Structure 1
Amino acid sequence: MSGMSVIFAPLLPWPAIWAAGGVALVLLALALWRGLRGWALRALAALVLLAAIAQPSLQREQTAPLSDIVLLIDDRSASQTLSDRAAQTDTALANVQAQLDALPNVETRRVTVKDGAENAGTELGAALSEALASEPRARVAGAVVISDGQAHDAALAPDLPGPLQLLLTGRAADWDRRLVIQTAPAFGIIGEESSIRLKVEDQGKVPASIGTKAKLTISIDGKNPKTYDVNVGRDLELPLTLDHGGQNVVQFTLTPVEGELTTRNNTATVQINGVRDRLRVLLVSGQPHAGERTWRNLLKSDAGVDLVHFTILRPPEKQDGVPVSELSLIAFPTQELFVDKIDEFDLIIFDRYGARGILPSSYFDNIRDYVERGGAILVAAGPEYATVESLYQTSLGSIMPARPTGRVLSESFLPRPTELGLRHPVTAGLKGAPPPADKAKDDAKAPHWGHWLRQVELSDPKGEVVMSGADGKPLLVLSREGKGRVALLASDQAWLWDRGYDGGGPQLELLRRIAHWEMKEPELEEEALYAEIDPGALSMTIVRRSMKDDVPPASVTLPDGTVQDVPLSQSAPGRFTARWTAPGPGLYTLKDGDLARVVAMGPASPREFEQTIASGEPLAKAIAASGGAVTRLEEGIPRIREVAVGRATSGRGWIGITPRGARATTDIRVQPVLPAWAWLLLAALLTLGAWMIEGRGRRMA
């Protein structure tokens, strides 16, 4: 097809040409006023000159029709796997593609939409925008989307130049029940009640026979599940009490009901970090000494510690006639602390304490029982521990992790982690740690902490010796007694690290780890199994901490009940790890012997299953703006027609696209109306004619 148009290539700017035209009009008016008979020819001559300056040309274009483009979007997100939606999509996609291929002058651009990254849901709006941006807008005759309509980015849907036709999968009779976690705490105080707000919600056309009751099962770390009857459609406030620190995986599961669309949204998980409200510490100092203030400052500086501290300022053997009742400003409540309220303390610290008769022997019996019931004591031993006043000589001796020999080694020595200490979580990885004594070849070059100056010699350790001191003697011994724990530090010189003596050392971190190990924090257990989950991904690092030289593979139980064995390799002393990728979201159970840990992979509430009922509502605004329609595939696959712009684009059993009639220019030819010499010749002839007419008129006159 060809077309013709006139174009101009003026020799002068258009304002100059219009000015020249104005001058010509003035001269023409003057000629008329004077009665010149050749005024018409003069006007034509001026017009020819102006046309010559404008240089008119004839432009001929050869064009060819362009095909129309239809965007064909098929939704393959997770919600499209429900019921028979995938089969509906496959059938409709093949049928629509065949119909579009049969239309003359129509091309198809197919786009498949899958689940968005990081639980973003179905990104239909972004897919439409990207597909439209990739094509010439003037050729897009419409878009056909085969989906359940649950677009989670519908606001991004573009303004289409043609109709947006949604072919809706699913069934009108579909219904579903889901569990919604409304609020859940990120942290919970151990032993105190927390609350989680949730709701059981029904969607779609729920049969009357289903009722308004649901069975909800709750478990923490997969243990001790409890089932409750709850009301559907009402907010529920459930109390929850955590019994251990660290990560607690709380799982909520709805009992499936026959006929619901999916059970994928019947389960929700919440990960709550269990923390202690405050660490209640009783610090008993046997006598004032240089390290006492260090202990007090260390404990008082921690806002999470409630400290009760008393110091024995005068030993009983000092005879100065002062009555015992007047030795302190107020009567110290030893009966209340060591008998009545001893179980309220998380940790008792004996700092250079000697049994000098201040505390009755029955109190030590009570402290021993407190440990065996689950309490914890830390003994920072001074020279008193090597004498007859030693705590070892009391009833606490039966739970002490090592026996004093009676010697006090008053010499400079370097505290070191033992071979066992390199694996134990209390001492493993402490910054600047020197190598064990049997591996230290050149102490001048090896990293080291500051030296200490005194140590009580210990023998017969029955606990784990994690640090050694002078002559390789036990320095820090940890043990379990009954349900409780005991730590024995055979020196009162830890305060030298706090003062920076000889370079100092990690006093704060070491004492913090000892205290938290005694509080049974999961992160400091010798034998532990846990997972470090990559944020936003279905992969994790399985970590097995052990005091053994090697460990067996960890078994991973998948949500469907299958079990996989994952080999572990040593990445650090006492630490065995493996990278593992989960096949999908859900709850996974890690096991190694008696150790077990429940891990939640993927989002706690997959966005794809928040709204499972097929609906055109999310895309309704974009569909209405484009003049399209929503057609249920359940009622049959519609025929596709071409309709003119402004006409209805849908009807019973059919949908329409609007041909755009776009054309491409294949050839352009430009030819001047007259050559330049012809314009000049024509202007000269017209001017000569005017002169001859006017000359004849004067002779006749």
Structure 2
Amino acid sequence: MCPHFSTGWGNDAMTSTIVFDPLLPWWLIALLALVTACGIALALVRGLSGWPLRALAGAVILAALTGPVYQQEDRKPLTDIVLLLEDESASQRLAERGETTASAAETLAARIEARDNTELRRITVPDGTDNAGTEAMTALSEALAEEPRGRIAGAILLSDGRIHDMDRAPDMPAPLHLLHTGRSDDWDRRLRIDNAPAFAILGEEVSMTLTITDEGAAPEGVRDVPLDISIDGDEPQRFNVPLGREIELPLSLPHGGRNVLQFTTPYVDGELTDRNNTALVQINGVRDRLSVLLVSGEPHAGGRTWRNLLKSDSSVDLVHFTILRPPEKQDGVPVRELSLIAFPTRELFLEKIDDFDLIIFDRYKRRGILPSIYLENVRNYVEKGGAVLIAAGPDFASADSLYRTPIEPIVPARPTARVIEERYRPKVSELGQRHPVTAGLEQEFDGEWGRWMRQIEVEQTAGDMVMTGKDDRPLLVLDRVGEGRIALLASDHAWLWNRGYEGGGPQLELLRRLAHWMMKEPELEEEALWAEATGQRMRIIRRSLSGDIGDVTITSPSGETFERSLEEVSPGRFETQFGGPEIGLYRLENGDQSAVIGLGPAAPVEFEQTIASAAPLAPMLEQSGGGALALEDGMPRIRDVRPGRPAAGRGWIGLTPRGAFETASVTQTALLPAWAVLLLISALVVGGWLREGRR
């Protein structure tokens, strides 16, 4: 293509250019040119006087084959586009960064819009969803996708430089500049928790790593800083820990279920924020193994069922104590010699009774094997927090009943001495529909429950009757005694369900729930309040045996309170939804129930690093030719720079004019019309022939 010239008027420009539209492929034209050159060379060797005219004719033919065209374009210049990104993420709301950003944006917008042939695109960069941080590169990529890259003259980012999506950085067609909002005297104290487990075994220590560091222009000479640790919102304990060093924290969880641990170092005047001075860690406490003592009386069909159910669970350590030979059998054998080896009754019921999580008496009656002092120790064990389950058989209604021992004050029902030997179908009582041990049992087992054949008649004296038997008599009664719990199952025919009699029933699920309730597992508490968090929202759940529970009070981390009414979604279960306005620890209260829950991440990514820095953007700034300047040094001047030249310096940033245009119309005129080419070639060929002929 030849050089072109243009003439313009107004905002439009007329550009003229000579272009080529060859009639044959270029390689074939080049071959013809070689053949022509050989022919002329041959004419020279032979001394033909007409070779100049022949050479001109060949040149005209080759020129005609290249198809030269005179092209005129009517072009309309397009404006350059400048992208201005304003970071409005959480870290930009620290100190005076928000006001600095807003003021700088207005000043830059005015200067850019005052430039000739320039358009401005203002883009807001909000907080990323799901704790994603500042997604400035995502916003920049989306803006570039909406504009012609050939018109982009530059991009300016107003931010603290803490960008969290650099993996999405686009290929910039023009300089990118960072005008950061930080100040040289900014400093911040940060608390960080590492290696926090999602769950921990009760009674065993868990270890976490805690580090408190000062960043930026922090005060010098500080060695130790205070650290407050609280569990479930209780009164915190204060410790002094070294600054800038990793500290191993051994902790033991106080209870099963969710434990909310809060670590805080107090705010110090002058630091940027206290949002990263606190870390929330939520750990679920689980039991390693369940230690169970099973005391069986007279052998019966259900004894093996109890043993098999407990032994099938790998998390259960079972000690089984069975009286196989009653002492009333007069054969002269001392009671202490009724077993092949001496059973450690003293060790079990006096010395190590507190090591058991659950004691089960299965059809046990007084036979002189366990002295009254041992059973009195069982009562004390329950009152101090232990759990006892009595599976009653006909022995419970006899004169040798376990009820007529020192444990009588803690048993929730009194036997009437009557044993009902009739078929009946166990069912959940009205109260049991609301109790977590039996609520929904009918839905757990699809089909009608099988019948039992025997029930011990008892009169309820305490606790909650959650299942009934024949003529709605108490079948399963639960009660709290002191700090412990006791359950009475007034039948020894639960094994029929396990054998599938008449279709069976939910024996395994019932016993699992019963054991977990007695172990004080939070999810089976009949009076409980807790919440489940999803992002910044929580689902508040209240379980109660009462039908009237009132509103729940929610206290935010900043102390603001909210009231929410609870709706009963199933018998004994009430729920409501709440969206937390801020990240942190929320307190819930309803009557005598309270709970805590942490909303949001343990350490929001926006506050992990709060000191302004251009380091994350450095590779991209270098690649695009842009620079990083601090707004505290004043607003930079804006210059035009050529592509490929440095576009930033002390006190100034550069934009690259693109000179983009839109072609309105194109007119093409052939330089060598066919008739003129034919006439000229003919004249040259004939002239060469005549010259040679005259010679």
TM superposition score normalised by structure 1: 0.93
Conserved in 2, the CA contact under 8 Å of 1:174 and 1:205?
yes
Give distance in 2, aligned partners of 1:679 and 1:295. Answer: 113
**2:616 match: secondary structure:** coil
Give distance in 2, aligned partners of 1:389 and 1:433. Answer: 37
- Does residue 176 of structure 1 match 2:188? yes
1:365 aligned partner = 376
1:236 aligned partner = 247
Shift in CA distance, 56/540, structure 1 to aligned 2, threshold 3 Å: same
Give distance in 2, aligned partners of 1:25 and 1:678. Answer: 23
Cα deviation, residue 477, structure 1: 0.8
- Does residue 212 of structure 1 match 2:223? yes
Conserved in 2, the CA contact under 8 Å of 1:433 and 1:447?
no
2:654 aligned partner = 656
Give distance in 1, aligned partners of 2:658 and 2:37. Answer: 47
Give distance in 2, aligned partners of 1:332 and 1:576. Answer: 49
1:270 aligned partner = 281
1:428 aligned partner = 439
Give distance in 2, aligned partners of 1:395 and 1:411. Answer: 31
Give distance in 1, aligned partners of 2:74 and 2:505. Answer: 88
Q: Kindly provide the amino acid, as one letter, of the partner of residue 300 in structure 2.
A: H
Aligned pair partner of 2:402 in 387, 391, 409: 391
**1:552 match: secondary structure:** coil
1:474 aligned partner = 474
- Does residue 408 of structure 1 match 2:419? yes
The residue correspondences of 1:610-649 to structure 2 (distance < 5 A) are: 610-649=608-647
Give distance in 1, aligned partners of 2:41 and 2:635. Answer: 76
1:353 aligned partner = 364
Cα deviation, residue 396, structure 1: 1.9
Conserved in 2, the CA contact under 8 Å of 1:100 and 1:106?
yes
Cα deviation, residue 10, structure 1: 4.0
1:585 aligned partner = 583
2:8 aligned partner = none
Cα deviation, residue 529, structure 1: 0.5
- Does residue 250 of structure 1 match 2:250? no
1:156-202 alpha-carbon deviations (Å, 9 max, x no partner): 33342332221121221111112111222222232333333211111
1:438 aligned partner = none
1:289 aligned partner = 300
1:71 aligned partner = 83
Conserved in 2, the CA contact under 8 Å of 1:377 and 1:487?
yes
Conserved in 1, the CA contact under 8 Å of 2:460 and 2:474?
no
1:459 aligned partner = 459
The residue correspondences of 1:277-356 to structure 2 (distance < 5 A) are: 277-356=288-367
1:284-338 alpha-carbon deviations (Å, 9 max, x no partner): 1113222222222221222221111121111112234445444322111011101
Shift in CA distance, 128/680, structure 1 to aligned 2, threshold 3 Å: same
Cα deviation, residue 2, structure 1: 3.5
Conserved in 2, the CA contact under 8 Å of 1:190 and 1:274?
yes
Give distance in 2, aligned partners of 1:15 and 1:87. Answer: 66
Aligned pair partner of 1:156 in 168, 191, 201: 168
2:595 aligned partner = 597
Q: Kindly provide the amino acid, as one letter, of the partner of residue 320 in structure 2.
A: H
Aligned pair partner of 1:225 in 222, 236, 242: 236
Aligned pair partner of 1:187 in 193, 199, 204: 199
2:125 aligned partner = 113
Cα deviation, residue 610, structure 1: 1.2
- Does residue 3 of structure 1 match 2:15? yes
The residue correspondences of 1:443-592 to structure 2 (distance < 5 A) are: 447-534=447-534, 537-592=535-590
**1:172 match: secondary structure:** coil
Cα deviation, residue 124, structure 1: 2.0
Name the stretch that deviates more: 1-10 or 59-68: 1-10
Conserved in 2, the CA contact under 8 Å of 1:432 and 1:449?
no
Name the stretch that deviates more: 12-21 or 600-609: 12-21
**1:223 match: secondary structure:** coil
Give distance in 2, aligned partners of 1:563 and 1:432. Answer: 38
Cα deviation, residue 596, structure 1: 0.7
> CA RMSD for the aligned pairs?
2.1
Aligned length: 683
Identical aligned pairs, as a percentage?
58
Give distance in 2, aligned partners of 1:682 and 1:496. Answer: 118
1:542-572 alpha-carbon deviations (Å, 9 max, x no partner): 1110101121000001111121111111110
**1:329 match: secondary structure:** coil
1:89 aligned partner = 101
Give distance in 1, aligned partners of 2:75 and 2:257. Answer: 73
**1:291 match: secondary structure:** helix
Q: Kindly provide the amino acid, as one letter, of the partner of residue 144 in structure 1.
A: I
- Does residue 147 of structure 1 match 2:159? yes
1:401-441 alpha-carbon deviations (Å, 9 max, x no partner): 1122222223332221111111000011225369xxxxxxx
Give distance in 1, aligned partners of 2:205 and 2:32. Answer: 95
1:442 aligned partner = none
Cα deviation, residue 348, structure 1: 0.1
**2:121 match: secondary structure:** strand
Structure 2: gaps of 5 or more residues: 1-12
1:346-399 alpha-carbon deviations (Å, 9 max, x no partner): 110011212222222221111111111111100111222222222112222221
Shift in CA distance, 238/55, structure 1 to aligned 2, threshold 3 Å: closer
**1:392 match: secondary structure:** helix
Give distance in 2, aligned partners of 1:688 and 1:656. Answer: 65
Cα deviation, residue 12, structure 1: 4.0
The residue correspondences of 1:37-48 to structure 2 (distance < 5 A) are: 37-48=49-60
Q: Kindly provide the amino acid, as one letter, of the partner of residue 626 in structure 1.
A: S
Q: Kindly provide the amino acid, as one letter, of the partner of residue 494 in structure 2.
A: A
Conserved in 2, the CA contact under 8 Å of 1:283 and 1:308?
yes
Name the stretch that deviates more: 598-607 or 44-53: 44-53
Cα deviation, residue 16, structure 1: 4.3
Conserved in 2, the CA contact under 8 Å of 1:638 and 1:654?
yes
Cα deviation, residue 578, structure 1: 0.6
TM superposition score normalised by structure 2: 0.94
Cα deviation, residue 580, structure 1: 0.9
Give distance in 2, aligned partners of 1:631 and 1:45. Answer: 67
Shift in CA distance, 547/3, structure 1 to aligned 2, threshold 3 Å: same
Conserved in 1, the CA contact under 8 Å of 2:19 and 2:71?
yes
